[in-house]
Structure 1
Amino acid sequence: MPTAILADRAITDVSGPDAEHFLQNILTLDLDALGQNEARPGALLAPQGKIMFDFLVSRSGENALRLECRADIADDFVRRLMLYRLRAKADISKQDQVLVSVSWQSDSAASQTDSTTTVRDSRFPSPVFRHYGVAPAATAGEADWHAFRIANAVAESGPDYALADAFPHDVLLDQMGGVGFKKGCFIGQEVVSRMQHRGTARRRVLLVTAAADLPAAGTELRADGKVLGALGSASGSHGLAIARIDRVKAALDAGSEITAGDVAVSLEIPSWASFTYPEAASAEDA
């Protein structure tokens, strides 16, 4: 069971009588569906529907939730939560001393102790466990973890997309339980629900493979001179991209070569995802 310490993650605790109600009204995921010992993805959106902060949410006690996000955005995230709290009886605090680590390729979680909390990361089809506190000994590096994450098409802000530049559908939050479409209002809900019900989500995370190492994140994907999308993170010849699936479908139908810089690539929908390529290219690309 490989285990890696994630030094670039931070924890924010939200607790108090109104903690869950407060978060339920602003975050994308449905907290009513969040089980014990489970971490689910979620986002805090701008009113226009784009992701301002992405994170994992898990329960940390009665009337208490744990939000794990990138360390470099944690202070801004706390300030934004404070702004929305208003009169809600909820305490919001960043925990500076909590160690975050992750284990994968195991059918069972490591033993939990008084100083460690272990939860299952629900973004993955196979068992993946987050550890908060004193973790099992590290047996792998962060590069190994990111290679596994990439192979499972789990995108994260920073390496795969910029905050304020992606909708939840773009990064597959709708596919992995990160958006509660039936729970009622949340910030940005109107835009996200419209995309869902009208089926207008055209940018999606796709798996990228090549015969050579992939170029840097941000490199454009092109076919017949047209931009399809851009690369995100990569591990050697495997990577992720956010691409227009209607344009990818048109390139595939035409038998056109798709490239990232000067490297020929192939694109694939993650096997666990429920969306498909459109039957025909959009009128814009006809």
Structure 2
Amino acid sequence: MTGETHENRAIFRITGGARVDFLQNLVTNDVTRGGLMYGALLTPQGKFIADFFLLDEGDAFLIDTDAALAPALIQKLNMYKLRADVQIEETDLHALRGRGEAPEGAHPDPRHPELGWRLYSDTPGTPAETDWDALRVELGIPTAGEELTADTLILEAGFEQMSGVDFKKGCFVGQEVTARMKHKTQLRKGVVPVAVEGEAEPGTEILTEEGKPAGRLHTRAGDRALAYLRFDRAEGPLTAGDARVTWIR
């Protein structure tokens, strides 16, 4: 059984005796848990740089990220490693994904059970037949370049629900801001699924009935979309361009 190629991914291998401590001190998840993990690298101010999957291969880690984010991510990792015994090399591997029965060597997608499995292979898979955008819109899963940007605070993007952040592991870059959001404040904004009736393109501003800004529309799939909403303004009727928008809860 093969899977569908996840296009536009860059996969690197991280080796060296200091690799575990190096990653553990930087990324949002606990890299000692094993298997396939999801996480992110943040700025010291808690803002998003890149999200990725990490696979513990025993003597190395694979890091699988959006190809557009890879240059900034690898630049930051190289900056942080200094003289540590850590080597970062790009691979020729392909990221495959699918739903249903998983082939040997595949791992469950840690973000949500309905997202199926991922597999890293020397050979590409089949072209995508699954409408992955529609699936992640239904499940409320953000993606880089759409809902995840340089202004994103990861708790507003649902990283805790996607098992992408671990607050018990200790420090990581941006941990102070992220932990403060979790423990001292109630989220007032976030990425959520919405219903859309009418014409509205991604990027359209969402307004309240009184014309106040309430958020912005992002990935759309049919009559559903992901939107970044201000929760205190999302209770009543909302519009985006000529469309009516309803928060799905």
TM-score, normalised by the number of residues in structure 2: 0.91
Which of 200, 203, 218 is the aligned partner of 2:189?
203
Taking the TM superposition and a 5 Å limit, the aligned residue runs for 1:178-193 are 178-193=164-179
Deviation at 1:82, TM superposition (A): 0.4
CA 1:175 to 1:139, structure 2 compared with 1: closer, same or farther past 3 Å? closer
Q: CA deviation at 1:75?
A: 2.1
User: Any conservation in 1 of the 2:46–2:175 contact (CA below 8 Å)?
Assistant: yes
User: Which of residues 220, 230, 242 in structure 2 aligns to 1:234?
Assistant: 220
Note if contact 1:2-1:139 (Cα within 8 Å) is conserved in structure 2.
no
Output the CA distance in 2 between the equivalents of 1:126 and 1:73.
25
Alignment correspondent of 1:44: 41
The answer as to 2:69 corresponding to 1:73 is: yes
CA separation of 1:127/1:262 partners in 2, compared to 1, >3 Å: closer, same or farther? closer
Tell me if structure 1 keeps the 8 A contact 2:51–2:144: yes
Which amino acid in the other structure matches residue 49 of structure 1?
Answer: G
Question: Residues 248-259 of structure 1 correspond to what in structure 2 (within 5 A)?
Answer: 248=234, 252=235, 256-259=236-239
**1:202-229 per-position Cα deviation (integer Å, ceiling 9, x unaligned):** 221111112345x222211111211111
Moved more, 124-133 or 63-72: 124-133
TM-superposed deviation, 1:47: 0.7
Where does residue 218 of structure 1 map in the other structure? 203
Q: Which amino acid aligns with 1:73?
A: L
Structure 1 residue 148, shift from structure 2 partner: 1.1
Contact 1:75 1:94 in 2 (8 A): no
1:265 to 242, 245, 248: 245
Retained in 2: the 8 A contact 1:212–1:236?
no
Structure 2 residue aligned with 1:151, among 138, 143, 161?
138
Q: Which structure 1 residue ranges, 5 or more long, are not aligned?
A: 270-286
Superposed CA deviations along residues 254-273 of structure 1, whole A, max 9, x for unmatched, are xx32111110021124xxxx
Match status 1:100 vs 2:95: yes
Q: Distance in 1 between matches of 2:117 and 2:10?
A: 16
Residues 231 and 40 from structure 1, CA distance in 2 versus in 1: closer, same or farther, beyond 3 angstroms?
farther
Partner SS state of residue 72, structure 1: coil
Q: How many residues align?
A: 247
Unaligned runs of 5+ in 2: none
2:114 pairs with 1:119: no
1:175 to 153, 161, 174: 161
1:89-135 CA-to-partner distances (Å, cap 9, x unmatched) read 1111122x22222102x1x312x3xxxx4221111133511121135
In the TM superposition, what are the counterparts of 1:16-31 in structure 2 within 5 Å?
16-31=16-31
For residues 208 and 165 of structure 1, what CA distance do their matches in structure 2 show?
Answer: 21
Question: How do residues 77-88 of structure 1 correspond to structure 2 at under 5 angstroms?
Answer: 77-88=73-84
Q: Secondary structure at the match of 1:28?
A: coil
Query: Which of 51, 54, 58 pairs up with 1:54?
Result: 51
Instruction: Report Cα offsets for 1:52-103 as digits up to 9, x if no partner.
Output: 11111122x22311111111121221111000012221111122x2222210
- Paired residues of 1:231 and 1:239 also in contact (CA < 8 A): yes
2:46–2:178 Cα contact (<8 Å) kept = yes
Please report how far the alpha carbon of residue 139 of structure 1 lies from its aligned counterpart in structure 2 after TM superposition.
5.8
The secondary structure found in structure 1 opposite 2:85 is: coil
Shift, 1:239, TM fit: 1.0
Whether the 8 Å contact between 1:78 and 1:94 is mirrored in structure 2 is no
Percent of paired sites with the same residue: 33
After the TM superposition, which parts of structure 1 deviate over 4 Å for at least 4 consecutive aligned residues? none
Alpha-carbon distance in structure 2 between the residues aligned to 1:9 and 1:205: 23
In structure 1, what is the Cα distance between the partners aligned to 2:72 and 2:178?
Answer: 23
SS of residue in 2 equivalent to 1:32: helix
SS in 2 for 1:47: coil
